[in-house]
Structure 1
Amino acid sequence: MPTYLITGGTGFVGSHAAEAAVVRGKVLALARSGSDTTFLESIGAQIVAGDLTDPAALRRAAEGIDCVIHCAAKVGDWGAVEDFRTVNVGGLRNLFDALRGTALKRFVYVSSLGVYEARHHYGTDETEPLPAAHIDGYTQSKVECETLALEEYRKYQTPVTIVRPGFIYGPRDRTVLPRLADRLRKKSVIYIARGRYALNTTYVGNLVDAIFLAAESPRAVGEVFNVTDGEFVSKRRFFEAIADGLGLPRPKASIPLWLARPLARWRENVFRRKNKPYPPLITRASVKFAGLNLDFSIAKARTVLGYDPQIGFDDGMKRALEWVAKNKPAA
């Protein structure tokens, strides 16, 4: 039976990847000191204390590993690019250094569809070149991580596969959906372009299916795959599903995209001049999320991996919101 190393196992995607891995083999999960590892321990994962900035811990974690599923990352749409680069790019480099010379069979790097240019997309596939510069530090670091991963494959024949999910939703999301629900509750969600454009929804279970197809397919080595639910979901449908599922008011107001873009740039500049540690309500990243058509082809994943999304948006969002409702923090 294979031995898996999961990074980011205490997080949203990583916990689901670990849960799927334990039925396939032995699971080691890298976890920072003080992290809540209760769930990982309950499913039988072995905890390796440390993080991506700790080369010694990574060397311990790398011993005897067959497959790495790398989910850990510093996320967010605000902050200095160097902060994201240090953790995400530097951490990935440390992990590759620790694994070099081992009998690794597959390294699955979980990237993001955010690596593509911040523009409208209509069926964009993996042949699209990635821009060198991006609108936020997180996305910039993800592009640099992809470059590093593919260089590792070419230079050292490390069996790397990259998967690029879109907006990930599902049970155990403790950050994004609860935050969006809070904004709906406060009536601070405003549509851009009436919410008519596509969102690249990716149910976490579908993503995990794709991750393990990528981990197990010989044809996946050295390849990159877009991963979504393969279903058109407008921004309006997305927000109304959350509102209706949690009994919150639906958004009504809307501003045009031509206004949202300069407004976001202006607010970002103001907040940076004032050295605000938190982002404004509207950023260029939030405009991309809420205002651009984000439709990406998953034909390559279907053809090469045999990926076939099993959970549709309505069912996936129902499961996600049931979890959010049951796990609301105490007032």
Structure 2
Amino acid sequence: MIFPKVLITGAGGFVGEALVFRLLLDKKFSPVAAVRGSTRLQGLCPVAVFDLANTIALPDLSDVQVVIHAAARVHVMNETAIDALAEFRKINLEGTLRLAQHAANSGVKRFIFISTIKVNGESTTPGIPFKADDVPAPLDPYAISKYEAEEALKQLGNSTGMEIVIIRPPLVYGPGVKGNFLTLLCWLDRGIPLPLGVIDNQRSLVAIGNLVDLVVVCINHPRAAGNTFLVSDGEDLSTTQLLRSLGSALGKRARLLPVPKWLLKMAAASMGKQMVARRLCESLQVDISKNRELLGWTPPINIDRTIRQTAVHYLEKQTK
């Protein structure tokens, strides 16, 4: 039996690697991992060297039916580029479109683009979640570059017939997570007091397993073609609830101080950390009903389970 050949860009990253392992486990697809450098996937599946910044070299897409594009220049907390938007566009817009045009020319049937919920905006009013078909409102250079890539891909799909699927995840977490989520784990593990004891917002997150599961469904589901999907765990938490859950999973009592949101935001503004305070204090909810209605998809993994797995993985790493 010949299985569909699927190329995954960014396969050395958190999301891309998880996708490759899932496809290998499913044994229904033939994954090809596209990475910039060394990878532990070597020997497990074919590996292609690919860098979005390279304007000449492109991966071999012979017999590839689907491209899952997870590689990107991600959100930079301490941006140093003079023209940040131009730098994001080079990778997230121009690099993506170059790859997608190559895919269309090579006969790839479907191109799945991992975008970001930031295309919708930065925050929501509690109880009024973002929907997949809302008017986009990207604010920062990263989000703008991703939105522009989405629009360019749609135009390319219309002109070539290659099917475009767009998925916008919020914060992705799970075993091996890095970035701000890992920082929170470290602080909680060390018992550092955090001024986040009375944050009553609502945030949608997505476990890496749930995101990967939706992407796999979108590989060959006929109704996924030409659509944009939001994704989450289907249940929302406040920042305070999340920290308490993480602390419990670590076997630690989260030391959370009851600092009012207004005071926290004022202190953050004085240090130039308004965006950090915004993510910690404001709500960002997503509506995933479209996934159920079009694809019959609901999140298969419980949020508590992934929080426990994330904490266990973190603690195991600390003992090595």
Alpha-carbon offset, residue 152 of structure 1: 2.0
Q: Give the equivalent residue in structure 2 for 1:177.
A: 181
The counterpart of 1:309, out of the listed 292, 299, 305, is: 299
| Structure 1 length-normalised TM | 0.85
* Match in the other structure for 2:192: 187
For 1:326 and 1:183, the matched residues in 2 are separated by: 16
Structure 1: tracts of 5 or more residues without a match = 269-281
Give the aligned partner of residue 136 of structure 2. Answer: 130
- Aligned pairs for 1:1-331 (under 5 A) are 1-22=3-24, 23-33=27-37, 35=38, 37-38=39-40, 40-42=41-43, 44-58=44-58, 60-78=59-77, 79=79, 80-121=84-125, 122-131=128-137, 133-134=138-139, 136-184=140-188, 185=190, 187=192, 189-191=194-196, 194-261=198-265, 264-265=268-269, 267-268=271-272, 282-284=273-275, 286-328=276-318
**CA drift at 1:254:** 4.4
Q: 1:119 to 1:299 in 2, by over 3 A?
A: same
The Cα shift of 1:318 comes to 0.7
Count of equivalent residues: 308
Tell me the secondary structure at the aligned position of residue 66 of structure 1. Answer: strand
Cα shift at 1:249: 4.6
Say if 1:97 and 1:188 are closer, same or farther in 2 by CA, change over 3 A: farther
Mapped contact 1:66–1:106 kept (Cα < 8 A):
yes
Amino acid at match of 1:161: V
Amino acid at match of 2:6: Y
**The residue matched to 2:229 in structure 1 has which SS?**
strand
Q: Which residue identity does 1:128 align to in structure 2?
A: D
**Would you identify which runs of 4 or more consecutive aligned residues in structure 1 move more than 6 Å?**
none
* Uncovered stretches (5+) of structure 2, i.e. residues with no partner: none
Residues of 2 paired with 1:144 and 1:189: CA distance? 37
Output one character per residue of 1:75-109: Cα deviation in whole Å (capped at 9) or x when no partner. Answer: 23421333322222222122113213222121111
In structure 2, give the amino acid aligned to 1:306.
G
Once the two structures are overlaid, the 10-residue window that deviates more, 179-188 or 286-295, is 179-188
Give, in whole Å, the separation in 2 of the partners of 1:318 and 1:129: 36
State the secondary structure of the residue aligned to 1:74.
coil
Deviation at 1:257, TM superposition (A): 4.1
> Aligned partners of 1:262 and 1:89: how far apart in 2?
35
CA RMSD of aligned residues (A): 2.2
Kindly, what percent of the aligned residue pairs are identical? 26
